[in-house]
Amino acid sequence: DAKTTQPPSMDCAEGRAANLPCNHSTISGNEYVYWYRQIHSQGPQYIIHGLKNNETNEMASLIITEDRKSSTLILPHATLRDTAVYYCITGGNTDKLIFGTGTRLQVFP
Amino acid sequence: DAGVIQSPRHEVTEMGQEVTLRCKPISGHNSLFWYRQTMMRGLELLIYFNNNVPIDDSGMPEDRFSAKMPNASFSTLKIQPSEPRDSAVYFCASSLDRESEAFFGQGTRLTVV
R_g over Cα of chain A? 13
Task: Choose the mutation target among A34, A38, A95 for the interface with B, i.e. most B CBs under 10 Å.
Answer: A95
Intervals of chain B under pLDDT 70: 1, 98
Q: pLDDT at residue A1 above 70?
A: no
d(CA B42, CA B110): 15
User: Would an 8 Å CB–CB cutoff place A45 in contact with chain B?
Assistant: yes
Mean of pLDDT values over A21-45? 91
Question: With an 8 Å Cβ cutoff, are B103 and A46 in contact?
Answer: yes
Residue B59 — left, alpha, or beta (φ > 0 → left; ψ -120 to 50 → alpha)?
alpha
Rg, chain B, Cα only: 13
pLDDT value of position A45: 95
CA distance A24 to A62: 14
The pLDDT score that the predictor gives to residue B7 is 97
Quick: pLDDT tens for B59-91: 998 899 999 999 999 999 999 999 999 999 999
* CB-CB neighbors (< 8 A) of B102 in chain A: 44, 46, 94, 97
Average pLDDT over residues A23-31: 88
Phi, psi of B96 (to 5 degrees): -60, -45
CA distance B94 to B74: 11
**The predicted structure's pLDDT at residue B75:** 98
Which residues, other chains included, contact B62 with Cβ-Cβ below 8 Å and sequence gap of 6+? none
Question: How would you label A53-79 residue by residue, b for 16+ Cβ within 10 Å and e otherwise?
Answer: eebeeeebbbbbeeebebbbbbbeebe
Residue A94 has its nearest CB partner, among B44, B91, B95, at B95
Q: Which amino acid is residue B63, in one-letter code?
A: D
Q: Does A34 touch chain B (CB under 8 A)?
A: yes
Q: Does pLDDT of A51 surpass 70? A: yes
DSSP code for B101: P
Backbone angles phi, psi at A81, to 5 degrees: -70, -10
pLDDT for B99 equals 72
Query: Looking at chain B, which residue has its C-alpha nearest residue A39?
Result: B106
Classified as helix, coil or strand, B60 is coil
User: Are the C-beta atoms of B48 and B98 separated by less than 8 Å?
Assistant: no
A80-99 pLDDT, tens digit each: 999 999 999 988 766 667 88
A57 has a chain B CB within 8 A of its CB: no
Task: Please tell me the distance from the alpha carbon of residue A19 to that of residue B14, in angstroms, as a whole number.
Answer: 45
Closest CA to B28 of B51, B48, B53: B51
